[in-house]
Amino acid sequence: MTDSDRDRLEAVSPLDGRYARYTADLVPYASERALIGARVHVEAQYLLALADVAELPLDLASDEHERLGDLAVSISLDDARRIKRIETEGTEDRPATNHDVKAVEYFLRDELNDPEIAPWIHFGLTSEDVNNLAYRLCVRGALRDVLLPELDALWDQLADLAREHRDVPMLARTHGQPATPTTFGKELAVYAARLDDAIERIDDATGSLAGKLAGASGTYGAHTVAAPDVDWRAFSEAFVEELGLRHLPLVTQVNPSDDLASLFSALRGANSVLLDLDRDAWLYVSQGYLVQRGGEDETGSSTMPHKVNPIDFENSEGNCSKANSDLAFLAEYLTTSRLQRDLSDSTVKRTIGTALGHCLLGYRKAGAGLETVEPDAERLAADLEAHPEVLGEAIQTALRRAGHADAYERLKAYTRGQRVTRETLDAVLDDPDLDVDEATRERLVDLTPAAYTGLVSDLVDELDGDREGTDGSDAK
């Protein structure tokens, strides 16, 4: 039985078991097959680049050139399995390499089957030259093709909901206490704006991924001894940039991974925005501000049949939290290496896909949660009417405008620590010692908590400008 045939119930990680249907889009970028394919891509492109160096006696026949081009595009699952067998089991011609990159080298030797070409496969390279580039190609693909589009879709959801409910008034709570009213739409617009900034940071960090190709200690030592007439620094820079990565000229054996640390930090920023959203949505459901539409086939509780639980927001919270923990660990660990290199980072890098998987699951669950909720306008209105004390801010500020330096103290004496009614506030305005013009008084008497929402419509309009999507297209 192959790994791909294994029953989901036997998966060690829930990302490949219970949640496999949510994370399947990452398989082309975060699986072992994907990493093997990226290594083949780097090695094949490297051999093609060497063949273009005039100072080197390497000539590729047209069919060899075509085969390398095909391998650089993609490898089949059978090819990936063959490479894995070369690593772990060996072949009739050679024992197991017990080395993943060496297995790729031998695979290419077998594929080309040309003794004149064989010496140039993996020429002068250390495995980290291949691996650092391969990992970044995988990570870049995962971000650009899967995670960033998922975040763009979440932004669309938030922006659409913000516009739809821009004028649905809602009691705000600061420190958990009743505060100046807002609208449900405006609060979602805040999250949309924050997420937009986070997406931009992720996109920038993805575009700044960097690669090295400088040999076993970052000196081009083997290259220059074998072919001293080649400008290997220029070759390396051109090769890395041809892969769409920034070139790192000063390195040890390893890529220092500061670029990955920046990307993981940017991802954590987006996840933190969604964690805040998940927790607020959970609280709004708990308060009855948000109504959930439960599916007919959904069981909310094994014993309480009435329940519709905010499970999508809870799941998103858990996965974004797990992702952030993994991303913080990766950012810290991958940027350190003993002397010119130690191997501890190798096993750690294999968990990058796990972190990205928890990100993707968190994003999709947040989106699923947003699809099933809507504000309960009647409940929101009732809660606003039950807290007229929130108008105290408006009244004391308007009285300040009218010249009353003691306005705050007046309102504090009437309201703090007491049950406040509309009559309480009217008593402030009816105080015979209060000198205020009739227009201001009427405006304050007529003011209601539901109408005390400031410039929310204009603020939500901040989302209506052109937004450039991460694929370069205009998003909503």
* Ramachandran category for residue 90: left, alpha or beta (phi over 0 → left; psi -120 to 50 → alpha): left
**Contact by Cβ (8 Å): 263, 139:** yes
Close Cβ partners of 10 (under 8 Å, ≥ 6 residues apart): 17
**Within 60-216, where are the H helices?**
62-73, 77-88, 100-112, 127-142, 148-164, 184-207
3-state secondary structure of 89: coil
Buried b / exposed e along 445-475 (16+ C-beta atoms within 10 A): eebebbebbeebeebbeebeeebebbeeeeb
**Contact by Cβ (8 Å): 181, 449:** yes
Torsions phi, psi of 467, nearest 5? -120, 125
In angstroms, the CA 45 to CA 74 distance is 12
Catalytic residue set: 175, 301
Strands 177-183, 169-174: pairing kind? antiparallel
* E strand or H helix that includes residue 440: helix 438-446
In angstroms, the CA 316 to CA 157 distance is 15
What is the number of other CB atoms lying within 10 angstroms of the CB of residue 403?
9
In angstroms, the CA 331 to CA 267 distance is 11
* E strand or H helix that includes residue 292: strand 290-292
Among 31, 28, 13, CA closest to 322: 13
Q: In the structure, how many helices (H) and strands (E) does the chain have?
A: 21, 8
